[in-house]
Structure 1
């Protein structure tokens, strides 16, 4: 892993350094909020906590505001500073990372909405175990992707990409179980459909965490690894 000062240059302008550090800090703060949203949305689902579910949905507006603020700040820096090389890469990566963070927030809000519907129905359906497990898995992926960004750690980013493959398998297995249960008990269709949507949202959270990890690798290595398989990605990370 390269240290910060190896990846990004220090500038004569103290203000420029502060501007760059500021958007990095804001991005991590936004990431912390969406990570909390995912955790709270799953808790609201499992515990049938309608109040917490409403809080998750309300927080989505704040996430959207943070995305807009960071994006505007990035555009301001581009216009005023005309950064080159690694600094430009940092700014462009941040503009993409915050889009994925905002979409993670959207998925958390969708999960919270399903949690509220299930609370209204008043029965605990099959699938809570699977939601808890996959939910914990993707929340950890988000946390690790943000840690990789904070530390400019391409090795940790690569691990997040690997975990996404595992989540995909877990998701497919859980979906098969839920469909089988629904076929065996048609009375459960409405409730199980809600769980299917929750599982789908969790799988998408994993995808967005991988996207963030890919941006970290690009940030550190200067190579676009989107749409590449894990082997090619590993080659990029291992390359000096």
Structure 2
């Protein structure tokens, strides 16, 4: 399967489309595909997912510039720095823990986190308007650092951008508009992912990228195309049906990964 470029591109495109439909890069859905269909080991799959996600996120930010200007994103630099203060440390520690966990343990950690993200899809993602921030001043700063740390940790353990956690945090904790929150999450995800990526580069499992260069490139290209298509189809898919369906896919994937040998 890894040598089949059509399957690799198609898989990336399908996963990217699923992610694009809910405003994400699709990494949460790509990880089970890497472990199941393409038979990567747990840590190798996380590293490949991280590399692919990094490309997708880097391309997504300029794609969104027509809807949310980069100037609007830059104006929110205090919020970005607040969350980065925690997420960078969380990303470094999360990547370090992942490289030390036994494969069987990492499979189970991944499965549990996927179930958590599935629950968030159903109960926490559908936020359509900005509201009053839950906190302000020093309390907001401390909560932002703590939230950023957890998000960075999860993002590194799964090899994802963390948007599924970042967007609700930006909307609820900081009262940011949902469209702006999507772009802010990308701006926060990029440096967070780079830190986690740098930590993974110190582990011998990082060689999986050198051994599968063409696979990563083709998968990333497919994911970018899929994310673009998903974004265009967004208005055609009702959230009331889409989100539970995607959550069910994650739960089934989590069960398979939990049982993975």
Structure (1 or 2) with the greater helix fraction: 1
The TM-score normalised by the length of structure 1 is 0.29
Bigger radius of gyration, 1 or 2?
Answer: 1
Q: Which structure is richer in relative contact order (CA contacts within 8 A, separation 6 or more)? A: 2
After TM superposition, the score normalised by the length of structure 2 is: 0.27
